[in-house]
Homo-oligomer: A and B are copies of this chain.
Amino acid sequence: MLPPLKPLIAFEAAVRLGSFTAAAGELHVSQGAISRQIAQLEGFLGFPLFHRDGRQILLTTEGERYASTVSTTLQRLSESTNELVHRFEKRPLTMVTSNAFASLCLMPRMTEISALLGDRELKLIARDDIAALDDLEYDLAVFYCRRRPKVPAAEPLFAEKIVAICSRMYRDSFKVRSDDELVRGTQLWCETPEEWIQWPDWLDHVGLDAAENYKRIQINNYPMVIQAVLDNQGVALGWRGMIDRHLAEGDLVQLTPHEWVTGSSFYLLKNKALNARASAKRQNDLNELLEWLRRSFQNTDS
């Protein structure tokens, strides 16, 4: 037993303003439109809402009752809607990235990101299991993918390029006769549930012998591996893009010229569904973040 809903808006306005013409003005439609909507509503209800007395309108008894119902209803609906929209609008931009990317790429630049987004809050979720990515929880995600993800809104952020790295001090204190001898120092391995390319794969691909006589330290978390490298614990595989900042600042050095470009990439995954209908402001903030990511990490070659 639902009445036609659009006329309710006209009715509410007409009651509040005491005139069809005024209601028409407020709703930016013609006077005739209001007249017809009210008539439609009355037609459905089966009784007149207004007593038309020539030039003025007056609520009937039933109209009075209904006006209060309608007004309250629309008010509540409006408030609920508004609150929900507002809440969503203010919801932080949520990024899900691998622990490595979060720790090595984002954390050092948090000040920059923060300045970029201004009032907009940012929520960062670091997690290595890409499969656990829930469509509803994130706006953006950055993950290493062996193949291009089927998701249409995925773009490569930077290619996977793997080099051997150690700290400057480690290299300097290491008496070497050749590059390939160097990688026979203490090898830092990253071992996590996800598959990582390991030293043997790398040595094989760049054409170095996979030596036997090395010391090995396993760490289950790539950021900690880097920590260990910085701490002069040995040599490790370095993913370009992840470690560029350390290379640029001279904390870490590339041991050899060898670089394995695997053909895989780190991908930027945009959650289109979640933001397709967001407000312009939110879309804009999101785009700025996207642009910043591209600016900061794309074309990190050579």
Contacts and interface: CB of A to CB of B under 8 A. Distances in A.
B61 A84 contact: no
A85 to B, nearest CB: 6
B85 A45 contact: yes
A133 interface: no
Interface string A39-57: 0001101111001100000
Contacts of A45: 81, 84-85, 88, 277
Contact of A136 (B8, B51, B84): B51
Interface stretch (A71-79, A191-199, A208-216): A71-79
Interface in A49-107: 51-52, 60-62, 65-66, 69-70, 73-74, 76-82, 84-85, 87-89
Given A62-B88, A136-B51, A277 B43 contact: yes
A226 to B, nearest CB: 36
A268 to B, nearest CB: 21
A80 B66 contact: yes
Interface string A267-302: 000000110011100100000000000000000000
Interface in A7-65: 8-9, 42-43, 45-48, 51-52, 60-62, 65
B3 A77 contact: yes
Interface residues of A, number: 44
Contacts of A132: none
A115 interface: no
5 contacts: A1-B82, A42-B277, A45-B84, A47-B277, A60-B136
Given A47-B278, A73-B76, A277-B46, A2 B136 contact: no
Contacts of A278: 46-47
A5 interface: yes
A300 B135 CA distance: 83
A245 interface: no
A3 B81 contact: yes
Nearest 6 pairs between A and B by C-beta?
A5-B5, A1-B82, A69-B80, A47-B88, A43-B277, A73-B77
A148 interface: no
Contact of A77 (B2, B48, B81): B2
B46 A279 contact: yes
Given A46-B279, A66-B80, A89-B46, A52 B273 contact: yes
A60 B277 CA distance: 14
Interface in A157-200: none
Given A46-B89, A46-B282, A69-B80, 11 more contacts: A1-B78, A2-B77, A2-B78, A45-B85, A45-B88, A46-B85, A46-B279, A48-B273, A61-B136, A69-B76, A73-B76
